[in-house]
Amino acid sequence: MSANQESLRRYPTRVMDHLCGARPRTILRLMRDALAGLCRRADTRSIFLLAVREREDSRELTLIQSWSHLRGADSAVAAFKAPFPLVRLGRRVESVLMKSTNPVYVTAGSDGSSCSRLMLRFLESQKTVGCVLVPIRVNDRLAAVLMLAHDHGVSHLESNDYLSIQLTGTVMMMALKSIRNGAKLRRRHRRWKAVADNACDFAVVLDQEQSIRQVVPFRRQQDLPATGQLLASLVDPNMMDRLERTMEAVLQSNEPQSVDLRAAFGEEQPQWYLARFEPQTGRHRRRMTVFLTNVDVQKQKSEELRVMNEHLQRAARLSLLGQLSTEFAHQLNQPLQAIMNWADTLLRRIDSGKLDRNKGMESLQHIIESAEHASRIIQRIREFVQHRTLHLKMTGLRRLVDQAIRMAEPRLTDHQIKLTLVDRFEETQPMIRVYADETQTTHVLLNLIVNAAESCNEVSDRAGHITVILEPDQSQHEGLVVVRVSDNGTGIQDDNPDHVFDKFHSTKAEGLGLGLSISREVIETQRGKIWCENNPDTGCTFSFTLRTFSDDGSDTVDIPVVDDPDWED
């Protein structure tokens, strides 16, 4: 017997000692260490431990832990991350694993019935021609499969070696099961402790027909005339469906269930109770005990608090709307000013008799677009009062930018300010789209252009010039575009440029200091970023990012939360 074989046959005992006392937060790391040792002793390239879970009509494999000497083994790990049917290992493989304790050797040269496409891809990822599948049985049930990838052929290990590998896998699976069961017991203990800490008012014992056989008082000492009555007769009729579903779930699962119910136990009017249904065992399995705690006062207070919070939120929004009225008027003034300028230009051309049909149609189109923008601003004000969200959708970036520039054009022309658009997507992605609220984002860009124009007006020694730049984000965040508005005006007279985004911070005597604050809210709500910085020579640059994708194709952004109670410590 070689030293490796001797070490392998002693290994199950070592793994048992290694996993003894493991906790939910450390068990996976310890199992990885155990697999690493098994991989060395069995002289294999990689080893994967896959759990078998029973489903209604099939069995699924889920990766628990793995170890590999190969740097490129991550692709195989990724392939096994999602659960997949056991049959995908091959029908013959599934049959052998389910019926016996013998390992199955699979090679790339096997026929289609014994080596599935999944196994072929796995062998290719492991850069090997063979793999041994070792069934792990717990309580005479296939609980897991150990996959050992190597190039040593079918006779690489003896039967006793495979027995040691099976014992090692069994030890790991039983340790994992023990830890999970312990976590469940601790959770159940905490629930019972909470019940004990908040002792119920009384309990009722129900028979098979859900009649009350006995009333057990706890905090509530007065007699209850409930013995002999059906529990359903004391419960609010509107709660009957909830009551029946809960009781059926308790009988089917043999697990306790808690539910809020309105019932009258000696009171003139039904009151709210927290009811915990506990099944009985043995020959009285159809009976159950219901522990009841009166929570009527808490329910009423919670409802009053909810209504009060709704009123406070609406009052706060209306109060804020009052503060923002000047800002909304400023937002509306920009498209209205554009309409007036384009209409004035059209009238002058008509009056001079030099009206060109195409130029006239262009002016009318600008008037229509500005009127539509004003209409959308009014709609956003209404939605603000009604507490709605931004309308996020995929929209053309150039369409959004061109609309903002057209609306700012009359003001720029009046003040003889030149605007240059630099589109670094024009050659590679001329139709690039972003995920944004078109109206609000257009107004953010328009606000930045107008602010830049006002900054240029304050400088008299040079002609005003604004540059709008569209370019990919140069950081490591993929899927972002950057929109920049750069000017040669006065720049930011503050050591900390981010202060310009603070509410009520303004450099204008008549300003409220809300325009840039609202712009930041719009951009950050769309999960972008907005910032500013002084240019090296003159003026400053405002920049913001927009996403070129949505999370799920909807107009809301959801953040998934992973919560696996089996790993609660």
What CATH architecture does domain 389-562 belong to? 2-Layer Sandwich (3.30)
Q: Is residue 535 left, alpha or beta, with left meaning phi > 0 and alpha meaning psi from -120 to 50?
A: beta
CA distance 277 to 195: 12
**What local confidence, expressed as pLDDT, does residue 108 receive?**
73
**Contact between residue 419 and residue 466 where contact means Cβ atoms under 8 Å apart:** yes
**What local confidence, expressed as pLDDT, does residue 419 receive?**
94
DSSP 73: G
Element (H, E) at 540: strand 540-547
Query: DSSP of 193-216, one letter per residue?
Result: HHHHHT--SEEEEE-TTSBEEEEE
Cα angle vertex 459, ends 453, 465, to 5°? 45
Outline which parts of the chain fall under CATH 1.10.287.
297-388
Outline which parts of the chain fall under CATH 3.30.450.40.
3-184
**Contact between residue 545 and residue 528 where contact means Cβ atoms under 8 Å apart:** yes
Interaxial angle between packed helices 438-457 and 397-414, expressed in degrees from 0 to 180 and rounded to the nearest 10: 30
> For residue 228, with 0-12 CB atoms within 10 Å meaning exposed, 13-18 middle and 19 or more buried, which class applies?
exposed
CA 201 vs CA 49, 71, 368: distances in Å: 50, 62, 69
Q: What is the largest CA-CA distance in the chain?
A: 110
CA distance 481 to 523: 12
**What local confidence, expressed as pLDDT, does residue 330 receive?**
64
CA distance 193 to 405: 65
What CATH architecture does domain 297-388 belong to? Orthogonal Bundle (1.10)
What is the pTM (predicted TM-score) of this model? 0.38
Of 217, 49, 223, nearest to 143 by C-alpha is 49
**Contact between residue 444 and residue 436 where contact means Cβ atoms under 8 Å apart:** no
**What local confidence, expressed as pLDDT, does residue 270 receive?**
84
**What local confidence, expressed as pLDDT, does residue 216 receive?**
80
Record the tokens describing residue 362, joined without a space: 């262009």
Record the tokens describing residue 373, joined without a space: 């923008």
**What local confidence, expressed as pLDDT, does residue 556 receive?**
38
Which value, in Å, is the radius of gyration of the alpha carbons in the chain? 36
Beta strand pairing status for 141-150 and 271-279? unpaired
HEC string for 118-146: HHHHHHHHCCCCEEEEEEEEECCEEEEEE
Record the tokens describing residue 333, joined without a space: 């003034």
CA distance 179 to 201: 35
DSSP bridge partners of 54: 59
Outline which parts of the chain fall under CATH 3.30.565.10.
389-562
**Contact between residue 417 and residue 459 where contact means Cβ atoms under 8 Å apart:** no
CA 437 vs CA 22, 280, 328, 375, 523: distances in Å: 51, 57, 17, 15, 9
Domain 200-294 has what CATH class? alpha beta
Outline which parts of the chain fall under CATH 3.30.450.20.
200-294
Which amino acid type is present at position 515? G
pLDDT values of the chain reduced to their tens digit, one per residue, 569 residues: 566 778 888 888 888 888 887 888 889 999 999 999 998 888 888 899 989 888 777 788 888 888 888 765 555 555 566 677 777 777 888 888 888 888 888 887 644 345 677 777 777 777 787 888 899 988 888 899 998 988 888 888 887 888 889 999 999 998 888 888 888 888 777 766 665 555 678 888 888 888 888 888 776 656 677 788 888 888 888 888 888 888 888 888 888 888 888 888 877 678 888 888 988 776 656 788 888 888 888 777 777 777 776 776 666 556 555 655 655 666 677 788 788 888 888 888 888 877 788 888 888 888 888 888 787 777 766 655 554 457 788 999 999 999 889 888 888 888 889 999 999 887 777 788 999 988 889 989 988 998 899 899 888 888 899 999 999 887 756 688 999 999 999 888 776 677 787 754 455 544 434 568 788 888 988 889 999 999 998 999 999 999 987 554 444 333 222 233 333 33
SS3 109: coil
Fold (CATH) for 3-184: Beta-Lactamase (3.30.450)
